[in-house]
Amino acid sequence: MEHSNITTALELPGKKIVKNFGLVRGITVRSRSIVGTLGGALHTLVGGNITIFTNLCEKTRQESFELMVKHAEEMGANAIIGVRYDANEVMSGVTEVLCYGTAVSVQ
């Protein structure tokens, strides 16, 4: 699927939605490693961007995004509209990241 056909908007300018496949999602559940947790905790003493956590968050979001795209492609969609992310703490140190949207076919 072309990434230009994936948007947070509810339409794709210049394209017509011809079929709605419904909700698609990608979900990833991650935990911090003990090394990452200690490294992040030490970094908070210095301040600034905690790159250990930034990289973990980016990797997790990317993985959930890719799973959502795969789900849409399996349904036969060539576009996804209304894309959103959501995150919840499942338990201490374990976070769920959900990427979801509406799979559609556009011309």
Question: pLDDT 10s digit of each residue in the chain, 107 long?
Answer: 999 999 999 999 999 999 999 999 999 998 765 555 555 555 555 566 667 778 888 999 999 999 999 999 999 999 999 999 999 988 877 889 999 999 999 99
If one counts every other C-beta atom within 10 angstroms of the C-beta of residue 97, the result is: 21
Domain ranges of the chain: 3-106
pTM of the model: 0.82
pLDDT at 15: 96
DSSP letters for the chain: --GGGB-SSSS-TT--EEEEEEEEEEEEEEE--HHHHHHHHHHHHH-S--HHHHHHHHHHHHHHHHHHHHHHHHHT-SEEEEEEEEEEEEETTEEEEEEEEEEEEE-
Q: What does the alpha-carbon distance between residue 42 and residue 49 come to, in Å, rounded to a whole number?
A: 12
Domain formed by 3-106, architecture: 2-Layer Sandwich (3.30)
pLDDT at 96: 92
pLDDT at 62: 97
